[in-house]
Structure 1
Amino acid sequence: MPNISPTEAASLVPLLQTFVRFPSQQTDLQESDPEVQAFIRECAAPKLKALGLEIEFDEMGNVIAAIGPADTGRSLMFVGYAMTHPAARMQNPFTAELIDTPRGQAVRGRGVAEQKTALTAAIGAIEQALAHGQLQGRLIFTLLTAGETGRHDALASVMKRLPAPPQYAVVCIGTDSKVAIGNKGRIDFDVIVAGKTSHSSVPWEGINAIAGACRVITQFESLDLGVPEHPAFGPATLTPTAVSSSPRATHTVPDTVRVTYDRRLLPGEEPQEALSAIQEALHIPEPWKAAFELGPVMYPNELSTDSPFFKHLDQAYRQVTGQEAPSFYCNFALDAGYFSRDGIPAVMLGPGEVHQFHSSEEHVLVEDLVKISKVYYALIEECLSGPSA
């Protein structure tokens, strides 16, 4: 891609800086956090209104906008995210300073590698589409209160409000500026091991739930998940991510231990089937008892490079860069799987480098911001102008 001109970056960079300077960090309140809600209503929504878009809010605070005729059978949806990872140990995370790097100018700040640069690029593309007009299909944009929650609740809320599902969908998140044609899904679940409490001076009077939990962990370490390996992802995985016991009291044998697991789903797997197989495989002896509790779920996704949607994406890249669309399989999960489960071809795509997610140093190249905004716009033209596919 040739060097970008100052004019090309003139509107996008200040918009990105505005977004970064309005913190919208994840907290225990998740989608209902006031900071996240305020980012949408007070920072992003006014930008959409300024473009002349009519917007609406759903019951979760997600904003939805749509333009173009709805009766052509052609539609494209962009999904952006408001919530970012907490600032954590990142210094000056919300100043959005423009910095020089060996690869060119960049904007530094929390969320630029994940959510906020892709959001900026999408709004820039929509602005360009509005300026050119003549859309021959429906262009839908939503900004979700999600971004770090690990569940589909926010998108599901939006989809219930749409008169019809989109033909294609782009999940706007940092993907190294490549098309994520596949991603693993995920179920989180807890195994709750029950015992009997007693004073630790007489442990034989109790049933130590920690000992029972150790048996669960040992069994699951060697558990065959019964799923064929995926050509790109390899085997399905089952990983313990947290352990807690109760009651938390001195000199007390605990009667409950909760072990949290992350089961990554390969394309084609169903969450409930995966959980049921694990439940059936666990054999915990008396005197312990074990129960399962399902947590957040995200569905896997896979798009063929021979599909019409990928061909549109490839053509969009060729128009902007002169090269074919780069694609890859992504290990992390987001909302693309929600679409594909309903038969809607979807990808994840955005500026921002995956290895910087949640790091103490996050920056995005201005060149990548401009490039992907152009790709987004070229995709709009591909899907909503010219011959249908």
Structure 2
Amino acid sequence: MNEAVELARELIRIDSVGGGEAAVAGPLARRLSEAGFAVRTHEYAPGRTGLVARWGTGEPVTLTGHLDTVPLGGQAWRHEPHAAEIDGDRLYGRGSSDMKAGVAALVTAAERHVRRTGPKVALELVLTVGEETGCEGAIGMVAEGLVSRSRALLVAEPTANRVLLGHKGALWLEATTRGTTAHGSMPHLGDNAIYKLARLIGVIEKFDPGVPEHPWLGPSTVNVGTVRGGINVNSVPDLAAVTIDLRTVADQDHGRLRERLQAALGGEATLGVLVDLPAIWTDPDDPLVRALVEAGAGAPGDRPAASYFTDASILAPACGGAPTVVCGPGEPEQAHVTDEYCTVHRIEEAVEIYTAALARFA
């Protein structure tokens, strides 16, 4: 069986749901070190270790993927989530599409690139933790100066091996209202924070982000995700909060967006930032895009952007604003689902695409 498929199975068998990435990073670090890479590890928290592996001299092409996976959910799985079972052309397991197959394909392609004869481009693999919960690992790596300026950035998130030119940004905020508690039988003695919040939710629903629709990324959007408040039924609540998911387009100023929303909410709510990740967009004529398409990846087409965010929001600026492309073997619609799978042939195909694209880049 293809070595990348076997590596993907090895990684899927390691449970890294919401943590424990050190167990995934360990074998990858040893493997890359044996292939000639200089490996540095980054411990975000105990048991949560990512790595940066560098080979060659000069500005590299940066290859990136994350090692964490999302929880399994409440529904029963037909295929045991960490057995890495293959049924026909499908490799099942949590993280198969999102994104241990992509990590396996990147590592295998990097090893092949180092072994090949002829011109070679320098490589830097950045394998992160905590991507699913706001790119915490990537933020820590950048803060410690572990990520190099690079010629290009390739993110192996699931795209079914189609080239995507970027993704929307995410600005997650929490709006909090405060009041005064009192007994529920005497509400006139209190100040109900939930009533205040309820009025503001309608304002959020109608909020205009204030930027035109991007020709490829689409409109900037707003959504209320959660609402919480109160401690018991017979008390006037003195605290309530709502989380707000703003998805942004290229060049949209998050600071200005937050100011606009605060002005719309007025003085009854305070805004706190939960996640702040800018949008990513790359010119379709960029050399990395052309190299991947010529190597066999699917062209961007009519929907050339990912619907999800990636570590590129953090890594691309750290790489010096490097052109960034998302292209990986996973199936986008399989991310986070029960009985998640990746097709075997796409994993093998991804290795060939990456290897050929790196050779063209060199």
Fold match, TM over 0.5?
Answer: yes
2:16 corresponds to which residue? Answer: 24
1:36 aligns with 2:21: yes
Q: Letter of the 1:154 partner, please give it.
A: G
1:312 aligns with 2:327: no
* Displaced runs of 4 or more, over 6 A: none
Q: How does 1:1-389 map to 2 (within 5 A)?
A: 9-26=1-18, 33=19, 35-41=20-26, 43-60=27-44, 61-70=49-58, 74-88=59-73, 89=75, 91=77, 92-100=80-88, 105-151=89-135, 153-159=136-142, 160-162=144-146, 164-246=148-230, 248-283=231-266, 289-317=268-296, 328-341=304-317, 342-383=320-361, 385=362
Q: Find the aligned partners of 1:295 and 1:225 in 2 and give their Cα distance.
A: 18
Q: Find the aligned partners of 1:348 and 1:364 in 2 and give their Cα distance.
A: 17
Q: Find the aligned partners of 1:358 and 1:297 in 2 and give their Cα distance.
A: 22
- Asked if the contact 1:58–1:161 (Cα under 8 Å) also holds between the matched residues in 2, the reply is no
Deviations 1:149-195 (A, max 9, x none): 223x4224334434741110011211121111021001111110011
Q: How far did residue 39 of structure 1 move?
A: 2.1
Q: Letter of the 2:72 partner, please give it.
A: A
Q: How far did residue 36 of structure 1 move?
A: 1.8
Deviations 1:70-93 (A, max 9, x none): 2xxx42010121101112235210
Q: Find the aligned partners of 1:155 and 1:108 in 2 and give their Cα distance.
A: 27
Q: In structure 2, the residue corresponding to 1:113 is in which secondary structure?
A: helix
- Asked if the contact 2:21–2:50 (Cα under 8 Å) also holds between the matched residues in 1, the reply is no
Long gaps (5+) in structure 2: none
TM-score by length of 2: 0.91
Q: In structure 2, the residue corresponding to 1:189 is in which secondary structure?
A: strand
Q: Letter of the 1:87 partner, please give it.
A: L
Aligned length: 351
Q: Letter of the 2:195 partner, please give it.
A: A
- Asked if the contact 1:178–1:325 (Cα under 8 Å) also holds between the matched residues in 2, the reply is yes
Residues 136, 369 of structure 1: CA spacing in aligned structure 2 closer, same or farther, 3 A cutoff? closer
- Asked if the contact 1:339–1:345 (Cα under 8 Å) also holds between the matched residues in 2, the reply is no
TM-score by length of 1: 0.85
What's the RMSD between the two structures over aligned residues?
2.0
Q: Find the aligned partners of 1:346 and 1:295 in 2 and give their Cα distance.
A: 24
Deviations 1:233-279 (A, max 9, x none): 33211111011114x13411110101100011111112212111111
Long gaps (5+) in structure 1: 1-8, 27-32
Q: In structure 2, the residue corresponding to 1:116 is in which secondary structure?
A: helix
Q: Find the aligned partners of 1:305 and 1:171 in 2 and give their Cα distance.
A: 16
Q: Find the aligned partners of 1:135 and 1:144 in 2 and give their Cα distance.
A: 28
Residues 348, 56 of structure 1: CA spacing in aligned structure 2 closer, same or farther, 3 A cutoff? same
- Asked if the contact 1:172–1:349 (Cα under 8 Å) also holds between the matched residues in 2, the reply is yes
Residues 118, 201 of structure 1: CA spacing in aligned structure 2 closer, same or farther, 3 A cutoff? same
Q: In structure 2, the residue corresponding to 1:252 is in which secondary structure?
A: coil
- Asked if the contact 1:267–1:300 (Cα under 8 Å) also holds between the matched residues in 2, the reply is yes
Q: In structure 2, the residue corresponding to 1:240 is in which secondary structure?
A: strand
